[in-house]
Structure 1
Amino acid sequence: MSSCCVLCGRDFNSNEALQQHKRDSPAHKFDYTTCDRRFRSATALAQHLRDAAVHTQSFKHLTTFAIPPRKRKPTTKQKPSTKPEPIKKWSMYPSLDTDVSDLLSEDNLFFSFYEKDDDNSCIDDYDTNIMGQFACTNPACTAVWTSKQIAITIRRYSNKRYNARVYYQSCKRCRTASEPQLDYSYAERVAYRLKKWSGVQVEPPFFSGQSNGPHMSDLCEGCKEGHCSKIVLGL
């Protein structure tokens, strides 16, 4: 067990070596009066020896007094946590409002696009399908496909406002969800539904035919959200 000389700040392998140091070291060749006090640290003891009047003469004889430096714990910077962005499953298309408004004006109807994507405050909502084209957004995939069963939810709000949520489809190859490029069927379906809600007698818009393949619900975000009619002619 090692012994320490508090005055000199030195460690010794045994108590005998410490006692020999106290006998032989010039730093201990002086008389001083003990105070019979205990200190919690070497720093507190050194300050006492330096400032107390009873030790003033004795302290002058000290040639060295080393206080062991305090070890600092290494600090590690914590990286700020970043939440992953949620994967988009649908979009709204306010840029197509002009096409919808042109069709509504034929029957003297005027609606404004409501940009808040809100399910709770709508007066009416209706699920149907439109047509469009997809290009996979995965840079490592080059898949392109067309669909006549793109799920869409049309919603009407108070004060003659509306919007429509168009759902994405996932690529068959890599399962990446992609946003569609819409054709004229979007404006026709939205305008038709708004006219129906407004009490206008109107013929259903022309549809170019059935889909060439089966509707794959596992690739349709509308199906996953419970808003896909799966019936192309379900106007």
Structure 2
Amino acid sequence: DMVSLWNSSLLKKTSDLHGDTWNIEIDETIVENSPDPNWYQYISGSFAEFRCSLCTRTWGSSRVQVLFHFHLNTASRQGTIKLRFYKQECKTCSAPQWEDADFSVNNTDVLVERLVKKIRMRCYGEDLGEANRSSVFDGRFNGPHESAHCEACRLGICSQGN
């Protein structure tokens, strides 16, 4: 399932994080700019695919946003990452559902790598510089983006990810 895909990618990239254990959980209740003060926030975007649960039409979007809230409990040495995927709806159905994004393994790895960089800077004070290395994505990087059918656009956060 999706959570185990993200956690296996995370495990590979946090094996040397000062002996602390990090875990990802999906939490659709988190919202942008209201994390608990003990939590950090990061928004990133990537190409992903969608499938309509009504008409089974599939489409790709180059700018699927993911919201992360993360926190390190230094006493228990447990890091927690809350993850929310912004959804999209089919543009051809008259009463579409919000559909979940399907990220490839490669794109999941790239998103997790960027997230871990933020964790290293925020939770461990590592100075990694702010330059994002260019990442290789599966699929079209600048494919169509249907703003009218994008949950993140409706919430006004679609252009903020990097």
Could you state the TM-score of these two structures normalised by the residue count of structure 1?
0.50
Deviations 1:147-167 (Å, cap 9, x if unpaired)? 221111121123222122111
1:228 is displaced (CA, Å) by: 2.1
Residue aligning to 2:156: 226
Give the distance between the partners of 2:111 and 2:135, measured in 1 at CA.
10
The number of residues matched between the two structures is 136
Give the distance between the partners of 1:114 and 1:198, measured in 2 at CA.
16
Residue aligning to 1:144: 58
The gaps in structure 2 that reach 5 residues or longer are 74-78
Give the distance between the partners of 2:39 and 2:62, measured in 1 at CA.
27
Max Rg structure = 1
Deviations 1:73-120 (Å, cap 9, x if unpaired)? xxxxxxxxxxxxxxxxxxxx4222111220233xx1254225373644
Counterpart amino acid of residue 135 in structure 2: F
Residues 150/133 of structure 1: CA separation in 2 closer, same or farther (3 Å cut): same
More strand by share: 2
Counterpart amino acid of residue 146 in structure 1: G
Runs of 4+ in structure 1 deviating by more than 3 angstroms, as ranges, are 207-210
Percent identity, aligned pairs only? Answer: 23
Report 1:1-235 matches (<5 A).
Answer: 93-95=2-4, 96-105=6-15, 108-109=16-17, 110-115=20-25, 117=27, 119=30, 120-121=35-36, 123-138=39-54, 141-159=55-73, 160-174=79-93, 175-183=96-104, 184-199=106-121, 200=126, 201=128, 204=133, 206-208=135-137, 210-213=141-144, 215-229=145-159, 234-235=161-162
Give the distance between the partners of 1:194 and 1:124, measured in 2 at CA.
12
Give the distance between the partners of 1:227 and 1:181, measured in 2 at CA.
20
CA RMSD of aligned residues (A): 2.7
Q: 2:26 touches 2:84 (CA, 8 Å); kept in 1?
A: no
The gaps in structure 1 that reach 5 residues or longer are 1-92
Q: Greater RCO between the two (CA within 8 Å, min separation 6)?
A: 2
